[in-house]
Chain A
């Protein structure tokens, strides 16, 4: 392509950029970066914080206090330990991935590493949703077998032969709550990361396509 060859020949001749002084360049060093890695890191920390807050917020509420009277520590403590161990595991992996991000890597490798940190947090959120689901079921089972008010309600429904309606309502409410919460979270991710990672994902796909072709 002769036009491109000509452009290449004259490439540096025509580039008359005004020269920046040392002082001007020096000022840049102290400005804030707007890098997407910084934003992903901040948002990820907020996500970790969000789930931690949820765990702490539900710790001392009425239901929790009631649970304490049921003597179900053999179920609750392992569940809590598993939750925290997995949180630490995810955080370590996330931090390791984050530290590995280097802006002097090859373009493809840099993109891969950024996407990996994202993937870790995504897995963490999925784990939390599953954990929430399992905990809800375990919690409901404990309530059903220990809460005197609930026992009475079950008995009432049993007497009128409407027990299936009661269970249908309970399961329905649980499922709707989980679906609504998941939808809110997924909507949030779609919005935040959709905007933040759109260009990166497109470019990564482009690079992958080059390798496949």
Chain B
């Protein structure tokens, strides 16, 4: 039986599920991993839900838990992916489809370049793309605002170099 709390939580996750998908597609390389990470993020969100006080936005709180799971907590488990029954939900991850328009080839290239960055750099770029300001980025990652800014500029330069070698 589902409790009111569970219902409330599931409704919120369903509403903001794109955010989790975006993290998953950045941090994984296959459909199976994507599904596995999505599941782990949901479990971690559920575990942390009693502490969510609602004084911050649910989506803001999701960024933290989602990125923490992708960067720190998640362990790839091939056995788990194979053994569990996940056929009941199948979707196509638009890792390559997202920007496959010929005129958007450049965007596809930069998306692929971002996926090649290290975990921390990816998190910075992801939050930037999500339109977070440096204060929010620094609070989520746990570094100073100035350092977040400096690092972001470096990552941008790195990406530029990768795209125009």
**A→B interface (CB under 8 Å):** 1, 3-4, 6-8, 10-12, 14-22, 24-29, 31-37, 39, 102-111, 114, 196, 199-200, 202-203, 206-207, 210-211, 213
In the complex, whether B32 has a CB less than 8 A from a CB of chain A is no
Binding site for A on B (CB under 8 A): 2, 6, 9-11, 13-14, 17-18, 21-22, 25, 36, 38-40, 42-44, 46-48, 51-52, 61, 64-65, 67-69, 71-75, 77, 80, 84, 88-89, 91-94, 97-99, 104, 106-107, 109-111, 118-120, 123, 125, 128-131, 139-144, 147-148, 150-151, 156, 159-160, 163
Cross-chain pairs A/B with CB under 8 angstroms, 9 sampled = A4-B125, A7-B129, A15-B21, A15-B98, A22-B14, A28-B43, A29-B9, A35-B75, A103-B48
Q: What's the Cα separation between A36 and B160 when bound, in Å?
A: 34
Q: Label chain B's interface by main secondary structure.
A: helix
Whether the pair B143, A210 counts as a contact (CB closer than 8 A) is yes
From the candidates B43, B97, B118, name the one contacting A31 in the complex (CB within 8 A): B43
Separation of A11 and B129 alpha carbons in the complex (Å): 7
Residues of A contacting B: mostly:
helix
The residue on A at minimum CB distance from B148 is A210
Instruction: Tell me whether B147 and A21 are in contact (CB under 8 A).
Output: no
Q: Please determine whether A19 and B17 come into contact, CB atoms closer than 8 angstroms.
A: yes
| Identity of the chain B residue whose Cβ is nearest the Cβ of A31 in the assembled complex | B39
A107-B51 CB under 8 A given contacts A22-B10, A36-B73, A37-B73 = no
